[in-house]
Amino acid sequence: MMKFTAGQISRFAFVYLVSEPLVFFVGRLMKLSTYQGWITLLGACLLSSLLLYLTVKLGQIHPESSWVEFGSRILGKQMHNVFLLLVLLLSIYLISLDVTNFSTFIGSMYLVETPMWLIMSLTVLCISLSTRTGLEAIIYMGEGIFLVILFSSLVTSPMMITSSNAGMMMALLTHHDLKRGVLDSFSALAWFSEWIFFLFTAPFVTFGKKLFRGLLMSLISTIVFISLFWLICLINFGPYLGQQLRYPILEVVRVARYGDFLDNLDPFLIAFWSSTMFIRSSFLLYVASVCLSKLVGFSDRRRTVFLLGSISGTFAMQYAGHTTNYEVDTRTYAVLAFVLSIELLPIYYLFVYKIRSLKVKHKNKPI
């Protein structure tokens, strides 16, 4: 059986966590919190750290088996299957958003005359083929792109502030609203609390203190990374223009001047980001295929990959054709509550497990 180290999973977690927020969360963060986006990110980091700790504790209950298998021993088979279905639906929803965002950007910037259905079909095909190769290939792809993303972003970020208004940074110290910051932190939490998906890496990795520390460092690195590029967008566009842009960080990349030799560097940076999106979506599709295989009793999860990929692609095409529905589904509190309720599943399982453990101890206590 293949085994992953805590370091491998941590590096993959950074790629997974940073892929979508880096491009699509920055604009919303400006609209959500304007100048106090750093407070929102800090609050989301603290809340996500707590959920990460509880998720690792859940994974430690039966480290020799996956949560998909031992979850039924805690809540019962029927209730566990209901939660598996919810995780499956959340995975499909997130994949459809990823495909929609990626295809819309590529179609509007580089493939203007290419039909949207063709871009989405090819995107879903690539994701499905990656997923069929298995979890091992997905983790190794994340490891491979980790250093490339880190190096390219940190090297080019100083070049993105050459024409910015650094004086705007004073507003970070003068604009404070603690109540709003707390509420915004819960809204941002959904972007950084998808730890339940990492339970699907068991038993290929040992859940323990080493993994917790590694994943915590990945989370902190992601928050620092997002904060850096949020600040770059803020001092380049300001909070009001920035929130009107659908892809503010990509706009910064496209207009930045890197020098005569590197003036056409933006397609490479966007290609690196696109790789992280494919890796993230492949992992989500892997999770969905495991859930569906468990629910219907398939021994080979690969039989469900193309079916689930097609469903995700269909939803993505609907979003692309109905922009209003897309905006509603990504910004309403009802959808936020749905997403968070599933991401908080480790708390439910731990609570029930503790209650049952106390009952067993009380029953076995000598009179």
Q: What is the pLDDT of residues 83-124, one digit of tens each?
A: 999 999 999 999 998 898 888 888 877 788 888 889 999 999
| Residue partners of 167: CB distance under 8 A and separation at least 6 | none
Query: Mean pLDDT across the stretch 254-261?
Result: 57
Distance between CA atoms of 322 and 117, rounded to whole angstroms? 14
CB 285 within 8 A of CB 309: yes
322: pLDDT confidence band, cut at 50, 70 and 90? Answer: confident
pLDDT given at position 299 = 81
3-class SS of residue 192:
coil
Query: Mean pLDDT across the stretch 302-314?
Result: 91
Compute CA distances 90 → 2, 148, 283, 335, 362, whole Å: 27, 29, 13, 10, 38
For 246, list phi and psi in degrees, rounded to 5: -75, -35
Please write the tens of the pLDDT for every residue from 325-364: 777 777 778 888 888 999 999 999 999 988 887 766 656 5
Query: Helices 77-109 and 305-321 meet at what angle, rounded to 10?
Result: 50
pLDDT given at position 361 = 63
Residue 2 has pLDDT above 80, yes or no: no
For 260, list phi and psi in degrees, rounded to 5: -55, -45
23: pLDDT confidence band, cut at 50, 70 and 90? Answer: confident
Q: pTM for the complete prediction?
A: 0.90
| Cis status of the peptide bond prior to 203, with omega within 30 of 0 | yes
179: pLDDT confidence band, cut at 50, 70 and 90? Answer: confident
Q: Which of 25, 18, 55, 100 is nearest to 342 (CA)?
A: 55
